[in-house]
Amino acid sequence: MGNAFFIFCGCVDQASVGIIERWGRFERLAQPGFHFFNPFAGQCLAGILSTRINSLDVRIETKTKDNVFVQLLCSIQYRVVKQNADDAFYELANPKEQIQAYVFDVVRAHVPRMTLDELFEQKGEVAKAVLEELEKVMGAYGYSIEHILMVDIVPDAAVRKAMNEINAAERLRLASVYKGEAEKVLQVKKAEADAEAKYLGGVGVARQRQAITDGLRENILNFSHKVEGTTAKEVMDLIMITQYFDTIKDLGNSSKNTTVFIPHGPGHVRDISDQIRNGLMEAASCQVNVE
């Protein structure tokens, strides 16, 4: 500690306290500074204790309530009480072993009543129990326990591996749930979009057919007024035949060379016109129902 001892004088460092004896018996405490002694009267500096905070790391192996062996690393921070330095000097030969023994006793009394999960959650309670016990015991010997820290809790390697696997499986399960929910939402939205598209497509087809019907009606009326002696049915047949030939022409001009086999002849033309007329009438009826 950098303390100098002489026959007639001695020096006590800062944050230290000296023990002065007379004829082998404790006389008084020496505060930091320079001191004179009378060796002829049996006075001497018997020893010096540091009042700085010391740290003691204790590793304890014990078993939890669910039969898991764990190692706990406990850090004890303690110091000598300056006013009771004589008790610390004379009462305990090895204070570190004394502190370690009490830590073992308290930890092994509390941890077996906890499961591994509870130990991780309540390690502060274990540290508090150790602190209370050490303060009660070591205070009588001139020591003050400043802090108790549960630095680490280390389960067996096989247990750590199992815990990691459980955690990984739980995360995979959650990921699967979230993925399923996302796919469900995607399918629902896709179905809704498909239904909306079909609905709008149907409305568009109905409006298209209605427009065709309105156009044919207007053409028939105009033709009937301009050509005397014609009926609406005759005009309709003429328009249908014209559209029939336009359709055949478009099929022939198609770049895909599509071949369509249809009956063709004077009698079949009338049948086709009847079919087209019936289709247009059905389209007009459907449009009325939609509106």
Report pLDDT for 263. 60
* Residues 128 and 70 grouped into a single domain: yes
Q: How confident is the model at residue 78 (pLDDT cuts 50, 70, 90)?
A: very high
Q: Domain count for the chain, please give it.
A: 2
pLDDT in tens, 228-261: 666 666 666 666 667 666 677 776 676 565 566 6
pLDDT tens digits along 197-225 = 888 888 887 887 777 777 767 776 776 66
- Domain membership flag for residue 255: no
Tell me: do 63 and 108 sit in the same domain. Answer: yes
90 lies in which domain range?
54-155
| CA separation for the pair 284, 217 (Å, rounded) | 11
Work out the pLDDT band at 6, boundaries 50, 70, 90: very low
CA distance linking residue 17 with residue 45, whole number of Å: 11
The pLDDT mean for the chain works out to 79
Output 43 or 275, whichever has higher pLDDT.
Answer: 43
Top pLDDT among 194 and 225 is at: 194
Identity of the amino acid at 170: E
Within 13 Å of residue 189, how many CA atoms lie on the same side as its CB?
Answer: 6
The reply to whether 254 falls in a domain is: no
Which one of 155, 174, 195 terminates a domain? 155
Other C-beta atoms closer than 10 Å to the C-beta of 287 total: 19
Residues 46 and 61 in one domain: no
Neighbouring C-beta atoms of residue 290, cutoff 10 Å: 11
Given a cut of 70, whether residue 124 has pLDDT beyond it is: yes
Spatial separation of the C-alpha atoms in residues 44 and 61, rounded to whole Å: 45
